Structure 1
Amino acid sequence: MKSNLVIRICLICLVIVAVTFLVLKLTIWQVTPDSDREDFKKYPKTYFGARLNDLRTGKESQKTHSAYSGNDRKDYEAVPVEAVRVERSNIEIFLVNNCTLEPERQVDVAAKTSGIVLKILAEEGDYVESGTILAKLDDKEALLALREAKLKKENAERVYKSSLDNFKDAIISKEEFEDKKFQFEIASVELERKQLEYEYTTIESPIDGVIVERNIEAGYNIEKDQIVFKIADFNPILARIYIPEKDVSKVVEGQMARITSEFLPEIEFMGKVKMVSPVVDPESGTVKATIEMEDLTGDVLRPGMFVSVFTIVGQHQDALIIPKKALILEAESDEVFVARDFVVMVMSSDGLEGLAIGDSVVCEQKKAIEESSLNRTGSTLRGKIVDISGSYEDKSLYRIAIEADGALGKETGNIFKTVSFYNSQDILVLQIKDIGFDVETKAFKTKIILGFRKGNNVEVLTGLKEGDRVITVGQDDVGHGADIVIINTGKEIGETSVFGSP
C-alpha cells in the first residue's frame, strides 16, 4: 500500500513540473529571444535594451527592440524621488511680533459748555478736517448773555469817557477816575467771556481725522467737559512692538517691516521703523519699537486690528534658494542630493583613441524637440565626457557616458543625428552620425554652505548653481551615484501682493 501511494505522489509531482515548464515556455520565456539573452550575457556592461549594432547605427533591427530613449526604460533599480530646481529669489530674515494697530493721533472732543444738543452734523466713520462743525447746542441763553454783556460794556465805556473829561477838568479825583476805568475793563472782559460761551455752543473738530466714536444724541443735556466725540488720524497707522533685549541691536530706525493680518492672508503691508525706545523695560526685558505705515490704500488696516509684524533685519537680493526639506538630515555637514542627467552611447573603438574624460560634446537631435528644453538651442544638446569604459568580453565596443549641461526633457528623442567631440583646445576630434543613446539620471551627494533661513526655504551660498535639481523626497533611499527616477516637476514660488509705500 505504501509503495503504491509513493508512486502516485511521484506521478502527480511529475505532471505538475511538466505543466509548469510548458506554461513558462509559452509565456515568459518567449518574451526575450535566445539571441538577445546571449547578447546580454556576452556584453553585460554595454547592453541597454537594444541590440548593440542598432545603438551604433541608430537603425532598428527586424526585432521589436529599438534604441533606448531613456523615457520608456524600465529601470527596476532606479529609486523614485521628487526634486525641485534651485531658484534665485530675494530672501529675508526677520523678527516676528504680534500687536494691535494704533492711530498716530487720537483725541477726545469734550464739550466746553453745558447745554442741550440741537443738531448732530457728523457721524462715526466720517472724515473731517480741523474746524469742521460736529454738533450744535442750544444757544439762546448764551446769546442773551452775550447781548447783556455787550450793553454793560457800552455803558461802562460811556461812563469811562465822561469821567476822563471830568478828571482832566479836575472835577473828580484820580481815585474816582481809576475806578471808572476799572469798571470799563471788567465789562470788556465779561463781553469776551460771553462771546466764547456763545461760540462753545458749536462743537468743532480739533484735528483732521476720522470720527471713531460719537457719544451724544440730539436732545441730550450735556455738561461741560463731557466727552462727545473721539477722532483719530489714520495716516499714518502705528504698530508698537516689543523687541527682546538680545535682539535690540538688530533693530534700527528706517528698517522695513512687513505687516500681515490673519483676516487678509494674501496681502502684505509695508512699514518702516519710526523710533526705538532708548531704555529697556526692567520687568519684561524688552524695548519698545514703533512701526509706521503711511499711504495705505482702501482703508484696509484700521486701528484696533490684530496683526503680525515681521521686522526685516537682514536681506539678500537674488539669492539661490532651495527648500529646507532638501537637506540631508543625518549628514555631519549641510548636504543635499543633486540629480544629474547622463547620455550613454555604445560605439566601436574606431577613432576613440583621441577621446578623453572632460572633452566637450555637441549632440544634434535627429527628432525635433521643443525650444523650451533646458541648455539646448534648437535641437542641440551639450555636455562633457565623464566615463569611457569597455566591454568585459568584446574590447571593440565601448560605453561613452556624457554629463549633460542641464536636465533632459521628456521630449528628448532616442537618436542623435550628429555627435561631435572636442578636446580641451576646442579642436574637433571625432564626429559620429546617426547613433542611438540612453538617458540615465543619478544622484550625487553635494556639500553646501547655507546663508539665511526663512520659513521652509534656505539660502545656498556655495555648492549649487541656478537650475540644479535637488532631491526633496526620497533621500533616505538614495546613495551617492545611485540611479534615480524623478516623478515630479518643481513648482515656482508665487509672489504676495504688497500695499503701502516703502
Structure 2
Amino acid sequence: MGCVCSTIRRRPVPIHHPPGGRAIQRARGDVGNPRQVQGAARCTGGMRPEAHRQGGVEIVRPMRSPAHAANPARRPAQFAGVLLAAMLLAGCGEDAQIRPGATTEVAAAEIRQPEATATQTATDGKAAQAATGEKAAEAKKDTKEETAAQRVADFRAMAGRRGEQERPPVPVAVTTIAVGAVEDFYRGATNLTAAEEAVVVARTRGVVQALFAEEGDVVQAGQRLAQLETERLELEVARSRTQLANLGAAFERAQRLHESRMISPTEYDNARFAFHTERTNLQLREYELREAAIRATIDGVITRRLVKVGFSLSESEPAFEMKRLDTIEAELNVPERETGRIQAGQLAHVAVDALPDSEFDGKVLRVAPEVDPTSGTFRVTVTVDNADGRLRPGMFGRVAIRVDRHEDALLTPLDAVVVFRDQSSLFIVHEGLAERREVTTGYVSEGNIEILEGASAGELVVMTGQEGLRDGARVRIVEG
C-alpha cells in the first residue's frame, strides 16, 4: 500500500458538511472494517457516530455533546480527527506512520506533512507539463472554438430543418423577377399657373359705353372687349383737323414770303411751329379715338372683368384680366442638393386632384441660375400642354420630374420586399422551400422596386403570404 497522499489521490474519500455537522461518507461496500469507524468515533471526541444511508451512500455523523457545542475552540481538533478517520477508512494507517498515543492534532499534522511534499512534487510536474503544452493549447484554442460553434450551428440547422419538415406547407403567392426599365423622379407639389398673364387697361380716359366680353370667354389678341364713349373725342378730332388746315395754309404763305425775303426768319419759324404743333394734336386726338375701344392684348381667357357700363375710366386704369391657358406652368422650389440632377428639357408628369384619372405630360422649361440663400432652394419651371383646357390656373398639382432611368433592371413588386432591421430581403421559392435572401434595392417606380444585388431574373419570389414565413419553410404555391 502506498503513501497517504498517493492513496488519497487514487481513492479520495470526500468529506461532506451537512447542516447537522461534519460527516464521513463512504460508498456502500467500500470499507468493511467496523473498527475503522469506531476509530473515527474515538478521534471525534469519543462519541459514537450515527450512521444512516442516503441515496445509496452511508453517512457517518458524530454525535455532538454539550461541551462540544459550548467550546468552539475544539472544532479544529475535531476536524483533524475526522480527517484521520477518513485516512483510516481509506486503508492508509500503516503508511501514515502515526505514533502510538499521538493526539488527533499531531496525527493530522503527520498526515499532512508527506501529503504536502507529494503535492508540491506533483505541482512542479504539472507546471512543467503546462509550460510544455501552453503553446500547443493556444494554437488549438481557436480551432476548438470554431469546431464547437460549427457543431452548434449544424445542430440548430438540423433541428430547424426537422421542425420545418414537421410543419404543414405555408400557402404563398409568387411572381417572377422580371427585366424592364425603371425611372427615378424628383417629386414636388405646387399650384398651377398660366403660362402668360395680362391686365388690359384703358389707354385713354372715358366712360364705358358697351361691353363685348365676359369672364370665361376665350378671346384673341386684338379682339374688342369694351367701348368707351367717343363723342367728345370725335369733336376734338374734327376741330383739330380744321385748325390744322388753317395753320397749313398760313405756313405755306409764310414759306413763300420767306423765300422772297419779305418776312423775317422769326415769323417764318412761328408759322412752321404752329402748323407742326396742331398736326401733333390731331394725331393724339385720332389715337385717343382709336383707343376708345378696349381690346385684348394676348390670346387667352377673360379671368376677371373689372368694369361695368357707365364706369368712368382714367388712362391706364385696369379693365380686364386675361390668362393664356393653352399652356400651363408649375413652379417648384427645389432643394439645392438636387441642382446637378435637374436640367431644362427633362420630361415631367403633372397630376391634379380634380382629375384623378388623368396625368399630363410636360417638360422642364427653365431652371433658375441661382439659389435663394434664404430658403436654400432654386426655382424650376415645368410647362404642360393644355390644348383641351382641362387644366386651370390655381389647381393643386403634383409634379414628377424624371431625373434618371435604368434599362434592363431587375424588377419585383414592392410588396414582396420584407424589411427587418433596415435590411431588405426576399423569399425565393426553390423546390418547395422558401429561402430568405438579403437583397440590395434601387429605384421604386409604378409599384415595382429595382433589385441591384441578391437575386436573378426568372426566380420565383413570394409576394403574398411572407408574413411570419421563416427561412427554409415548406411552401405551397397558390393563385395570387
For this structure pair, what is the TM-score category when the shorter chain's length is used for normalisation?
0.5 to 0.7
Are 1:238 and 2:329 an aligned pair? Answer: yes
Cα deviation 1:99-152 (Å, max 9, x = unaligned):
111122211111011222222112222222221111111111100000011111
Cα deviation 1:171-204 (Å, max 9, x = unaligned):
2211111111111111111111111111111111
Q: Return the alpha-carbon distance in structure 2 between the equivalents of residues 177 and 476 of structure 1.
A: 106
SS at match of 1:123: coil
Cα deviation 1:319-339 (Å, max 9, x = unaligned):
332233322323785431122
**CA contact under 8 A between 1:89 and 1:320: conserved in structure 2?**
yes
Number of matched pairs: 315
Are 1:276 and 2:267 an aligned pair? Answer: no
For residue 470 of structure 1, the aligned residue among 461, 465, 470 is 461
Residue type at the aligned position of 2:462 = I
C-alpha distance 477-207 of structure 1, shift in aligned 2 (>3 A): closer
**CA contact under 8 A between 2:255 and 2:268: conserved in structure 1?**
yes
SS at match of 1:257: strand
**CA contact under 8 A between 2:326 and 2:389: conserved in structure 1?**
no
For residue 115 of structure 1, the aligned residue among 163, 181, 206 is 206
Are 1:450 and 2:412 an aligned pair? Answer: no
Aligned to 1:154: 245
**CA contact under 8 A between 1:79 and 1:477: conserved in structure 2?**
no
Residue type at the aligned position of 2:204 = T
4+ aligned runs moved over 6 Å, structure 1: none
Structure with higher RCO (Cα < 8 A, 6+ apart)? 1
Q: Return the alpha-carbon distance in structure 2 between the equivalents of residues 217 and 174 of structure 1.
A: 54
C-alpha distance 331-168 of structure 1, shift in aligned 2 (>3 A): closer
SS at match of 1:482: coil
**TM-score normalized with structure 1 length:** 0.59
**1:235 CA drift (Å):** 3.4
**CA contact under 8 A between 2:326 and 2:387: conserved in structure 1?**
no
For residue 420 of structure 2, the aligned residue among 285, 306, 330 is 330
Aligned to 2:410: 320
Are 1:248 and 2:339 an aligned pair? Answer: yes
Cα deviation 1:373-400 (Å, max 9, x = unaligned):
xxxxxxxxxxxxxxxxxxxxxxxxxxxx
Aligned to 1:27: none
Residue type at the aligned position of 2:473 = A
**What's the C-alpha RMSD, in Å, of the aligned pairs?**
2.2
Identity within the alignment, %: 29
**CA contact under 8 A between 1:258 and 1:271: conserved in structure 2?**
yes
SS at match of 1:282: coil
Relative to total residues, which structure has the larger helix share, 1 or 2? 2
Residue type at the aligned position of 2:293 = T
**1:307 CA drift (Å):** 0.6
**Which piece of structure 1 moves more, 475-484 or 96-105?**
475-484
Q: Return the alpha-carbon distance in structure 2 between the equivalents of residues 331 and 482 of structure 1.
A: 21
Are 1:305 and 2:395 an aligned pair? Answer: yes
Cα deviation 1:386-431 (Å, max 9, x = unaligned):
xxxxxxxxxxxxxxxxxxxxxxxxxxxxxxxxxxxxxxxxxxxxxx
**TM-score normalized with structure 2 length:** 0.61
Q: Return the alpha-carbon distance in structure 2 between the equivalents of residues 172 and 97 of structure 1.
A: 80
For residue 101 of structure 1, the aligned residue among 170, 186, 192 is 192
Larger Rg: 2
SS at match of 1:192: helix
Aligned to 1:498: none
**CA contact under 8 A between 2:326 and 2:388: conserved in structure 1?**
no
C-alpha distance 169-332 of structure 1, shift in aligned 2 (>3 A): closer
Structure 2: gaps (5+ residues): 1-165
Correspondence list, 1:14-163, <5 A: 77-163=168-254
**1:462 CA drift (Å):** 4.3
Q: Return the alpha-carbon distance in structure 2 between the equivalents of residues 203 and 225 of structure 1.
A: 11
**1:89 CA drift (Å):** 4.3
C-alpha distance 317-301 of structure 1, shift in aligned 2 (>3 A): farther
C-alpha distance 210-243 of structure 1, shift in aligned 2 (>3 A): same
Residue type at the aligned position of 1:471 = V
Residue type at the aligned position of 2:477 = I
Q: Return the alpha-carbon distance in structure 1 between the equivalents of residues 421 and 433 of structure 2.
A: 19
